[in-house]
Amino acid sequence: MTGVSPFTLLFLGVVTEVGKNVTKFNIGDRVGVGVLVGSCKTCECCEQDLENYCPRIIFTYNSYNPDGTKNYGGYSDMIVVDQRYVLRFPDNLPLDAGAPLLCAGITVYSPMKYYGMTEAGKHLGVSGLGGLGHVAVKIGKAFGLKVTAISSSPQKESEAINRLGADSFLVSNDPEKMKSAIGTMDYIIDTVSAVHPLLPLLSLLKVNGKLVTVGLPNKPLELPVFPLVMGRKLIGGSDVGGMKETQEMLDFCAKHNITADIELIRIEEINTAMERLAKSDVRYRFVIDVANSLSQ
């Protein structure tokens, strides 16, 4: 298949050829490939449609196939994938703005479903308003949750409320505002990838509240046990989702018209985009238009 690639090195496009044993897809179908292209298919995780936790998982990028060849992700004009790891892309989702859902979308959707963070009317805090966080706000609202965006950047308040649909905005480094929100949230999904304290977030939770972290800081975070015990609070983690759940997420986003906010670039603009990415100068994902870059 050929198409577009978000910076997470995923791939979306149209099926151009199928093998003789392929039964799920036909030439011309709109499809996508997420973060994995293989697993053992026989372990407990694979049998439970949790291929993303398979100990022999094969990632779409920087991973090796059983024959020793290396996967380089979506920086290409075509990709060949086992049909089990291909996703049907809904017709009403644009390929470019829908592409990051295969990473950011499933990364926040999966824990919200698993940890029961979907009860309409409950209060969800989304910590970090970047590539993951902005999608979490949209999905939270689609579940009928009251959503508060939590960020250290006050200038993001208008965008969080007026553009993304958050109900309120909380500046995480403002002691007075944080104090006023203590014990007001049922759930928090923490998308921050930098090292940060968990205690302020835990204090925002009600009794029986849940804090789920999906960011990946490069150093261990300090876990304060006292507020967990005194509030019967739960802290957990999550990593993308299996193929069945990822398809469910795509269908959910299509139903609710949820896409990522992106900047579409050509392949020759990638070095500039990488420089901007290092400065956090993107709202909120770069997507490479591979097909049109190569055709002109």
For the chain, domains (ranges, CATH) are 2-102+261-288 (3.90.180.10), 104-237 (3.40.50.720)
Taking each continuous run of H as one helix and of E as one strand, the counts in the chain are 11, 16
Report the range out of 10-19, 145-154, 286-295 with the highest average pLDDT. 145-154
More confident residue, 11 or 6: 11
User: pLDDT tens, 189-217?
Assistant: 999 999 999 999 999 999 999 999 999 99
Local confidence band at 9 (pLDDT 50, 70, 90 cut-offs) = low
Beta strands at 146-151 and 123-127: parallel, antiparallel or unpaired: parallel
Q: Quickly list H helices, 117-238.
A: 133-142, 157-158, 175-180, 199-204, 226-231
**Choice among 102-111, 183-192, 195-204, 266-275 with the minimum mean pLDDT:** 266-275
User: pLDDT tens, 41-97?
Assistant: 999 999 999 999 999 999 998 899 999 999 988 777 888 999 999 999 999 999 999
User: pLDDT tens, 130-156?
Assistant: 999 999 999 999 999 999 999 999 999
| pLDDT value of position 261 | 94
Using the predicted structure, report yes or no on whether residue 291 has a pLDDT greater than 80. no
Using the predicted structure, report yes or no on whether residue 2 has a pLDDT greater than 80. no
User: Residue 50 corresponds to which tokens in the numbers above?
Assistant: 């949790």
Average pLDDT value for the chain: 93
| pLDDT value of position 8 | 54
| pLDDT value of position 279 | 86
Buried-exposed string 131-159: b where 16+ CB fall within 10 A, e elsewhere:
bbbbbbbbbbbbbebbbbbbbeeeebbeb
d(CA 99, CA 3): 10
d(CA 165, CA 259): 13
User: Residue 67 corresponds to which tokens in the numbers above?
Assistant: 């024959």
Mean pLDDT to the nearest integer, 16-33: 96
pTM: 0.93
User: pLDDT tens, 212-239?
Assistant: 999 999 999 999 999 999 999 999 999 9
* 55 within 8 A of 47, measured Cβ to Cβ: no
Spell out the residues 6+ positions from residue 291 whose beta carbon is closer than 8 angstroms to its own.
Answer: 2, 3, 4, 13, 77
Q: Quickly list H helices, 116-269.
A: 133-142, 157-158, 175-180, 199-204, 226-231, 243-255
- Do you know the residue count of the chain? 296
d(CA 276, CA 77): 24
Mean pLDDT to the nearest integer, 22-26: 96
* 212 within 8 A of 189, measured Cβ to Cβ: yes
